[in-house]
């Protein structure tokens, strides 16, 4: 897909018109990806940049099914867990690669109140609400449109979540754009408007393994989180209401540490999460984009940086993967074979005083940007 840009400039006494072609050398193509149980056709879009980096994204749940990035020797490898077929995502997926919403992460007891009215959501994670409920955004078929920009191309996915869907108030009009850039970035832009005040917290839920999906555990990956504080939880993953410093705890990733170094520490929060499954409070909030995380895989030399305008990032280490998910190429995904880095507002923010605002009101526009940038060393 190619974009032409024409502009004029004065050269000496004359006006010269210059046309720049190939402003976007990112290619976009699509193919069928099966049908849902009610016969709705689903498509798979392939984005490929000038460096050979490739992302495959389906409009079912906005799932990134494949993400091929180069290693230090220039060899491409797929770094996200997933399935070969749509039917597998429909049958049993622990949110592989999807858009989660209306509210990613947990809401205590599935309840929140707005203007004195209490709303009840599904409790699909023990006593709590998780990732939008029984049929969240990860299980919806979105409308897809191809888009282009300078040095990037992608798809915009749109979905209307109607008033009362999964118990949430208001018609929520959502648009999520996946961009692949020639700087080896997967950029995600979220926008939404509503007809009634409603909680919103959209995020992306890829399970990453920078050594390549299906290659084993991620314990040797080195993680750096640009956060002085994190959000402690109870045993159900619900915040206690406190913001705690990471210094002196296994949650201190201010300098790079291997995931496996302290993941078995005798620490109540580690025990609650069966490893890392917590929200970190990103430093330097208020800027357009903040560096939230950096992960390095020593063997391949792959580096992934995460930038966002959100206040928090959930770091999850695949603690509930148990070998029951048979992924691409019949690979078995076992305990801690991947990690997630989900940019977000803090869990249970609608019920927590002092947490970031998570209610979208009529006349406002929800915006959220997340960039996954890939490098090598």
203-231 average pLDDT score:
98
Token output for 233: 């939880």
Query: Is 108 part of a structural domain of the chain?
Result: yes
4 — pLDDT class (breaks 50, 70, 90):
very low
The span from the CA of 350 to the CA of 108, in Å, is 9
Spatial CB neighbours of 129, under 8 Å, sequence gap ≥ 6: 103, 106, 107, 108, 109, 110, 121, 122, 123
Residue 12 falls inside a structural domain: no
Residues of the chain with pLDDT > 70: what percent? 93
- Of 314, 370, 312, 318, which Cα lies nearest the Cα of 339? 318
Mapping DSSP to helix (H, G, I), strand (E, B) and coil, where does residue 327 land? coil
Is the predicted pLDDT of residue 291 greater than 60, yes or no? yes
pLDDT at 24: 65
pLDDT reported for residue 284 = 84
pLDDT of residue 287: 67
Note the pLDDT of residue 23: 53
pLDDT, residue 288, reads 80
State the pLDDT at residue 25: 86
In sequence order, what are the beta bridge partners of 179?
154, 187
> Look-up: residue for tokens 């402690």?
232
Q: Is residue 355 part of a domain?
A: yes
Residue 77 has pLDDT above 50, yes or no: yes
The 10 Å Cβ neighbour count of residue 348 is 27
The percent of residues above 90 in pLDDT, for the chain, comes to: 92
CA separation for the pair 33, 295 (Å, rounded): 31
Binned at pLDDT 50, 70 and 90, residue 285 comes out as confident
Cis link prior to 76 (omega < 30° from 0)? Answer: no
Instruction: Count how many residues are written for the chain.
Output: 377
Q: Catalogue the active-site residues.
A: 205, 342
Report the C-alpha gap between 363 and 196 in whole angstroms: 9
The yes-or-no verdict on residue 2 having pLDDT over 60 is no
Here the CATH number for the domain that contains residue 80 is: 2.70.98.10
**What local confidence, expressed as pLDDT, does residue 103 receive?**
98
Average pLDDT over the chain, rounded to an integer:
94
User: Does an H or E element contain 90, and which?
Assistant: helix 86-91
pLDDT at 306: 98
Element (H, E) at 18: strand 14-20
Which helix (H) or strand (E) segment holds residue 38: the answer is: none
Instruction: State pLDDT tens for residues 353-371.
Output: 999 999 999 999 999 999 9
Q: Which residues partner with 160 through β-bridges? A: 173
At residue 321's C-alpha, the angle toward residues 66 and 340, to 5°, is 55
Answer whether residue 232 is part of any domain.
no
In a domain, 275, yes or no: no
Q: Is the pLDDT of residue 329 over 80?
A: yes
- Cα dihedral 272→275→278→283 (10° resolution): 140
DSSP string, 346-371: PTTGGG-TTSPP-EE-TT--EEEEEE
Listed residue (200, 237, 234) closest to 367, CA to CA: 200
Structural domain including 110 reads 27-221+312-376
In a domain, 38, yes or no: yes
Q: Residue 9: in which H helix or E strand, if any?
A: strand 5-11
pLDDT at residue 300 in the model: 98
Measure the CA–CA gap between 144 and 120, rounded to whole angstroms.
31
Q: What is the pLDDT of residue 3?
A: 39
Task: Report which of residues 49 and 25 the model is more confident about.
Answer: 49
CB 57 within 8 A of CB 191: no
* 161 pLDDT more than 80: yes
Asked whether residue 11 is domain-assigned, the answer is no
Closest of 102, 103, 61 to residue 82, by C-alpha: 61
**pLDDT per residue as tens digits for the range 171-188:** 999 999 999 999 999 999
Strand partners, 144: 157
What global pTM score does this model have?
Answer: 0.93
Total domains present in the chain: 1
Residue 367 lies in a domain: yes
Task: Assess whether pLDDT exceeds 70 at residue 337.
Answer: yes
């Amino acid at each position: 897909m190619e974009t032409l840009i024409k502009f004029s400039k004065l050269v000496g006494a004359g006006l010269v018109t210059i046309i720049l072609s190939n402003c976007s050398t990112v290619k976009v193509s699509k193919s069928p990806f099966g049908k849902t149980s009610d016969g709705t056709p689903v498509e798979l879009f392939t984005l490929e940049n000038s460096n050979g980096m490739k992302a495959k994204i389906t409009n079912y749940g906005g799932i990134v099914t494949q993400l091929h990035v180069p290693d230090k020797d220039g060899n491409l490898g797929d770094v996200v867990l997933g399935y070969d077929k749509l039917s597998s995502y429909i049958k049993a997926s622990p949110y592989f690669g999807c858009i989660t919403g209306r509210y990613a992460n947990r809401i205590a007891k599935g309840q929140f109140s707005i203007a004195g009215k209490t709303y009840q959501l599904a409790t699909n994670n023990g006593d709590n609400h998780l990732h939008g409920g029984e049929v969240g955004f990860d299980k919806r078929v979105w409308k897809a449109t191809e888009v282009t920009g300078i040095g990037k191309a992608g798809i915009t996915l749109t979905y209307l979540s109607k008033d009362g869907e999964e118990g949430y108030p208001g018609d929520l009009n959502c648009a999520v754009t996946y961009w692949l850039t020639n700087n080896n970035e997967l950029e995600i832009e979220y926008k939404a408007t509503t007809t009634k005040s409603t909680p919103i917290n959209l995020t992306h839920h890829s399970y990453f393994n920078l050594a390549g999906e299906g290659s084993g555990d991620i314990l040797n990956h080195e993680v750096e989180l640009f956060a002085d504080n994190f959000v402690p939880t109870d045993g159900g993953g619900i915040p206690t209401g406190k913001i705690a410093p990471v210094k002196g705890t296994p949650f201190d990733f201010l300098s790079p540490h291997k995931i496996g170094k302290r993941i078995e520490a005798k620490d109540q929060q580690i025990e609650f999460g069966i490893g890392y499954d917590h929200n970190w409070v990103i430093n330097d909030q208020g800027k357009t984009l903040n560096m939230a995380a950096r992960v390095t895989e020593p063997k391949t030399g792959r580096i992934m940086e995460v930038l966002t305008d959100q206040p928090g990032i959930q770091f999850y280490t695949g603690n509930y993967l148990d070998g029951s998910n048979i992924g691409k190429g019949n690979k078995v995904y076992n305990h801690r074979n991947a990690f997630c880095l989900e940019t977000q507002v803090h869990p249970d923010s609608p019920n927590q005083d002092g947490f970031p605002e998570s209610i979208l009101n009529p006349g406002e526009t929800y915006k959220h940007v997340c960039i996954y940038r890939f490098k090598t060393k």
